Structure 1
Amino acid sequence: MTTTDPVASLRFGPWVSPTTVNRTSAREVFVTDHARVGEEEFAIAARVAHDHPLWSDRRGHGHDPAVVVEAFRQAFVVVRHEYLGVPRGTPTAVQQLTLDVHDLSAFRTEGTTPLQGVIKVRVVRTGETLDIAGDFFIGPARAMTLSFKGILFSRDSYRGIREYQRSRRAVGTGGGPAGRPIEPELVGRRDRRNVVIGPAARRNRFPLVVDRSHASFFDRDYDHVPGSLLIEAMRQSALRGAAEAGLCTGDASLIRAELDFGIFVETDTPATCGVSVAGRPGAVTATVGIDQADVRAASGVLELTEGAS
């Protein structure tokens, strides 16, 4: 009797519908196929176009490992809706995120081929909490390990939390923290539109630049700053802090992160990202924290390297 390996059968053909991964634009969809491979285990095929306007906008010679965070988020969406029966439209928040790059060389590219791989994950639901952890494989290489801890809200509880959090901060008092971004080459970017921090107001503290017209960060209408922008702001702040300390350039790669997201960040109130760095040239550990109206909203530790990718 012949059995079919569900992982080997995954297709890297057309992407799934945007609604499957809570996206609006087909350009922002990375998942191409998915399968259940165990009671709590799943495999998701993902492909990122070589010319994606955000995730391929990198001065280095490798695919951006940080794009796997968005692919992992989409895998999280697929699993909870397609396999765990969580209704679409259920408010969800990621509270903790970790990533470790095991093989940076697997992300090498000449700039003309997509990033393509398989996410293998295990998902455990305990009440309203979801834990998802797994690996991203590029071919046979185990390129990265990731984990999310998320929470599901009822619509009423989400509305109450948002009203309470907004009441603690002076929101809606201005046009929002659009700001002026720093030069893209300072944070390893080519396109200024993908820069999400401005010039430091004081040493190692960078204002967030929140552009609600950005096609990737705001692919849909959020009532808060999306996690993808917060992660990018922490990374860019770490790059600037490390560069100003003479430890690395803006082209360094993110290879490890442990991040906590405590509360939502409002789109219409200024926020800043503070950073402190340590390490040696080419190998940096950065401690970061995003603050808004004197409230710590997100924090974590990132590691950067200028090792070849």
Structure 2
Amino acid sequence: MVNRRSSREVFVTDHAQIGAGEFVIAVRVAPDHPLWSDSRARRHDPATVIEAFRQAFVVTRHAYLDVPRGTPTAVQHLTLGVHDLHMFDADGTTPLQGVIKVRVVRTGDRIDIAGDFFIGSARAMTLSFESILFPGDSYREIRDYQRSRRTVHTVATSETQPIRPGLVGRRDRRNVVIGPAVRRNRFPLVVDRSHASFFGRDYDHVPATLLIEAMRQSALRGAAEANLCTGEAALTGADLDFGMYVEVDVPATCAVSVTGRPGVVTASVGIDQADVRVASGVLELTEANGDPWRSPS
């Protein structure tokens, strides 16, 4: 129901419809999850909720919107905002769990979903996806065309090695998805197709969760090199556009520029592949002692 092979990667525990176009989805992420609980900070990673929200979106469209399973779908725009970073504080033994309440609008092949993640009765985060559904034939035509434009750029290079995990707030090297900078504030993507969390099913492209993680890690490195925050800063805001699929076998890099003050950073990010900007946007990073009490909007 959520396009994952392993039950360990399934975060949805229950779901229900509460009104016209309105749904609630309960989610739970284990405190020892190999990716989403792999944080050097004493908090749950707010980026975890992006994957939980993706799964909520999959369940909603299949269970309630009559979208056949296996229908290709692409998120074209994503936003998120953390309302209170302290709500993600963790003790290492308690799971991240809560309820996602969403509103869905479908217009033809477009589905827009927006909602809030609640921990207990308090709103912790707001998220939205704007997406498009593809008929099977259209998807294959698009993918064939995009690959024909970029496979000519495939070159034999030595495998990019990830940077040290602590530089991007991770403990496990397997969860690092960028390599050492090829130029100032430009980091190559590390794509491991055996990673069970990023590639929880057969993708013919790099999944958005890995792209977002690459953007987050690149932003952390750019901010740290500018002496604005450390690798333990949290992702507290995002406004991202995804224009094209990213091929798994063509080199890609993430470019970043940062502004802000120590502890609170705005990072402009972009994924480039074969001389094409395929995804871009803005991230906000906040350290626990930066500006943790964001007013709900």
Q: Shorter-normalised TM-score: what interval?
A: over 0.9
Structure 1, unpaired ranges of 5+: 1-19
Distance 1:76 1:175, change over 3 A: farther
2:41 is the counterpart of 1:64: no
Match for residue 97 of structure 1? 78
**When the two structures are aligned, how many residues end up with a matched partner?**
290
Structure 2, unpaired ranges of 5+: 293-297
Residues 99-125 of structure 1 deviation map (CA, whole Å, 9 limit, x = unaligned) = 000011111110101000000000000
Aligned residue among 86, 99, 103 for 1:118: 99
TM-superposed CA distance for 1:153, in Å, is 0.2
TM-superposed CA distance for 1:173, in Å, is 3.6
* Pairing of 1:91-170 with structure 2 (within 5 A): 91-170=72-151
TM-score, reference length from structure 1: 0.92
Letter in 2 for 1:97: L
TM-superposed CA distance for 1:307, in Å, is 2.2
Aligned residue among 231, 256, 270 for 1:250: 231
TM-superposed CA distance for 1:170, in Å, is 2.6
Distance 1:178 1:34, change over 3 A: farther
2:134 is the counterpart of 1:180: no
The answer on whether the counterparts of 1:178 and 1:210 sit within 8 Å (CA) in structure 2 is no
CA root-mean-square deviation: 1.2
Partner secondary structure for residue 159 of structure 1: helix
Match for residue 5 of structure 2? 24
Match for residue 294 of structure 1? 275
* Aligned equivalents of 2:144, 2:152: Cα separation in 1: 11
* Aligned equivalents of 1:132, 1:56: Cα separation in 2: 26
TM-superposed CA distance for 1:175, in Å, is 6.3
Moved more, 176-185 or 91-100: 176-185
* Aligned equivalents of 1:174, 1:51: Cα separation in 2: 38
Match for residue 282 of structure 1? 263
2:5 is the counterpart of 1:40: no
Aligned-residue sequence identity (percent) comes to 76
* Aligned equivalents of 1:171, 1:120: Cα separation in 2: 44
Match for residue 307 of structure 1? 288
TM-superposed CA distance for 1:215, in Å, is 1.1
Match for residue 191 of structure 1? 172
The answer on whether the counterparts of 2:28 and 2:95 sit within 8 Å (CA) in structure 1 is yes
TM-score, reference length from structure 2: 0.96
TM-superposed CA distance for 1:88, in Å, is 0.5
Aligned residue among 55, 60, 64 for 1:79: 60
Residues 146-201 of structure 1 deviation map (CA, whole Å, 9 limit, x = unaligned) = 00001000000000000111111135845688510000000000000000000000
Distance 1:285 1:62, change over 3 A: same
* Aligned equivalents of 1:176, 1:215: Cα separation in 2: 24
Residues 110-142 of structure 1 deviation map (CA, whole Å, 9 limit, x = unaligned) = 010100000000000000000000000000110
Question: Which 4+ residue blocks in structure 1 deviate beyond 6 angstroms?
Answer: none
Aligned residue among 216, 233, 251 for 1:235: 216
* Aligned equivalents of 1:141, 1:267: Cα separation in 2: 39
